[in-house]
């Protein structure tokens, strides 16, 4: 009887370990961390839940987008998104074209949204546009 009970406990432990390994392997947070270390694009979002923010990694930088629900002509949609850097100290080397790429990818998922970049990302857009106006090409 004790041997049978011990075998049942071992079987339960093995099933639990397999379940834990599966949950770890399919974890979106693990995929986001891998994409960050490999410096590739990854978009983690729950489109059905507008209360959860989305996370984007691109070129090793992690960005967080806050979604705000509003009305369009036909339905309630996400109409405003505030994007900020998760760690603003590490965004060195980010170019304006990279931000345009991120904006395009966000608009693919939320076509009715207006995207606002938070500090210091908004300074890159404003500063480069102003600098180009001061020095016209000859």
Report pLDDT digits (tens) over 84-93: 888 888 888 8
Coil vs helix vs strand at 72? coil
Q: What is the pLDDT of residue 10?
A: 96
Computed over every residue of the chain, the mean pLDDT equals 85
More confident: 138 or 118: 118
The fraction of the chain above a pLDDT of 70, given in percent, is 89
Q: What is the pLDDT of residue 13?
A: 96
Report pLDDT digits (tens) over 78-125: 889 999 888 888 888 888 888 889 889 999 998 888 999 888 877 776
Average pLDDT, integer, range 40-66: 89
Indicate the range of 4-13, 16-25, 121-130 predicted with least confidence: 121-130
Rounded CA-CA distance 36/59 in Å is 7
Average pLDDT, integer, range 73-81: 87
Rounded CA-CA distance 115/138 in Å is 33
Report pLDDT digits (tens) over 123-136: 776 554 444 445 55
The residues, ordered by sequence, that sit 6+ positions from 91 with a Cβ below 8 Å of its Cβ are 61, 85, 120, 121
Rounded CA-CA distance 103/76 in Å is 21
The residues, ordered by sequence, that sit 6+ positions from 60 with a Cβ below 8 Å of its Cβ are 36, 37, 39, 90
Return the domain boundaries, the chain. Answer: 39-134
Let me know: does 63 contact 85? Beta carbons within 8 Å. Answer: yes
């Amino acid at each position: 009887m004790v041997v049978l009970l011990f075998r049942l406990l071992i079987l339960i432990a093995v099933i639990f370990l397999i379940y834990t390994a599966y949950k770890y392997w399919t974890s979106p947070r693990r995929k986001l961390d891998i994409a960050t270390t490999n410096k590739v694009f990854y978009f983690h979002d729950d489109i059905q839940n507008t209360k959860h923010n989305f996370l984007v990694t691109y070129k090793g930088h992690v960005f967080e987008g806050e979604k705000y629900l509003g009305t369009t002509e036909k339905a309630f949609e996400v109409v405003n998104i505030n994007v900020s850097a998760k760690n603003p100290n590490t965004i060195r080397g980010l170019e304006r074209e990279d931000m345009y790429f991120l904006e395009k990818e966000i608009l693919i998922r939320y076509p009715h949204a207006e995207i606002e970049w938070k500090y210091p990302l908004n300074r890159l857009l404003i500063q480069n546009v102003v600098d180009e106006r001061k020095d016209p090409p000859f």
